[in-house]
Amino acid sequence: MSVKVNDYLSASEPEKYKGVSKQFVMTSSDGLEAVILTYGALIEKLIVPDKDGKPGDIMLGLKGLDEYMASGANHGSIVGRSANRIAGASYEIGGVKYTAPANDGPNNLHGGKPSYQNVFWEGSVISSDEANAMVAESGIEGIAGINDEAVLLKYTSPDGACGFPGNLDTQVLYAWTTDKTLLILYRGVSDKDTIFAPTNHAYFNLGGHNSGSVKDHLLMIDADKVTNKSEFNVPDGTYMDVEGTIFDFRTPDRVEKVLTLDHPQTKNALGVDQNYCLNTEPGKFLCISTLEDPASGRKMETLTDLPGMQIYAGNHLGGNDQKGDIPYDKYYGICLEAQMYPNAVNIPEFASPVIKAGVPCYHACGYRFS
């Protein structure tokens, strides 16, 4: 199938964004549809049929470009270059200390501005051969083939942006694979040693983006432990075994059990906002999570080669800028953010998010539907 390309303009300043803000409509040969914007390289819509074959949009989102640009919720965006939190908004690489904006209490969250989620990317349509070549170059095993056209987005984060070193050239490939997976493939290469730790911040609701709470969704995560957080919601270098806790999703269970404020790890976050230590292997694209909505019959598997996944249930959602008629409220969507561990740059025991100058780094995440 081909990809449709449209202008996606601001209501307040349409001419300013003409030619810069684009919308890519990707329809798979299986009838699945993903709509991608160049702003934030974000997923605007994700159309998936329910058990009766009726298509529905399972991606929470906002009314238009003005609302996306004003929001801090990062709906569907690629975030980084350093996703999640860095304790104290400071770190060292090669003995040099760097400081990032403290935009989440004393911590840095998702980089700051300008970062991936709040800039316009350069977008283009590429052939399936070009997309498959990029997958092959990544060396990540287990990614299914791509038969359709795909979308490639590019952005260079300049040296010193938000205090991060190096000119970091980033590419993000969005493609539908032959096994009904929406693939997100990241590539980063920098002229200095730097942090490259992106994620996608999609809020999913398999009942439909305006169907209410996700508390009855059934979640499975292939992880035996989570990283413990300090009072400031950032990993402190210790772990918690999930056995016997509310965080145990090794067998499918209702999301509602982690939407409690009665646990020290959920109280300050107003619900679940936790990094899971996945049973993944570097360089292998593995299924590490399932999410299912019994009412609609939709099921989504998450696949990745990354070591962690942040589970966040929209604890701070609100306002009236949503794309549907029903305002979003807390717990109306759930994020499954495949990632490097938060604060990994400051904790030597965690897999390092630092990439070496001149050496391309690849990571992948995918959402597979049935």
Q: How many domains does the chain have?
A: 1
Give the pLDDT score at 366: 98
pLDDT in tens, 172-203: 999 999 999 999 999 999 999 999 999 999 99
| Averaged pLDDT, 98-122 | 97
pLDDT band at 60 (very low <50, low <70, confident <90, very high): very high
| Averaged pLDDT, 312-322 | 96
337 among known catalytic residues: yes
Q: Which pair of tokens denotes residue 233? A: 């919601």
Q: Is the pLDDT score of 19 beyond 80?
A: yes
pLDDT in tens, 27-55: 998 899 999 999 999 999 999 999 999 99
Please, what is the average pLDDT of the chain?
A: 97
Q: Which is the catalytic residue, given 110, 201, 217, 363?
A: 201
Q: Is the pLDDT score of 259 beyond 80?
A: yes
Give the dihedral sign, CA 302/242/197/355: negative
Find the domain containing 300 and state its range: 218-313
Q: Determine, yes or no, domain membership for 243.
A: yes
Q: Determine, yes or no, domain membership for 309.
A: yes
| Averaged pLDDT, 114-123 | 98
- Buried b / exposed e over 49-86, threshold 16 CB at 10 Å, is bbeeeeebbbbbbbebbbbbbebebbbbbbbbbbbbbb
Written as one string, the DSSP assignment of 17-85 is: GTTTSEEEEEE-TTS-EEEEESBTT-EEEEEEE-TTS-EEE-B--BSSHHHHHH-SS-TT-EE-SB-SE
Is pTM beyond 0.75 here?
yes
Give the pLDDT score at 1: 73
Q: Determine, yes or no, domain membership for 1.
A: no
| Averaged pLDDT, 133-147 | 97
Q: Is the pLDDT score of 2 beyond 90?
A: no
110 among known catalytic residues: no
| Averaged pLDDT, 95-115 | 97
pLDDT in tens, 73-88: 999 999 999 999 999 9
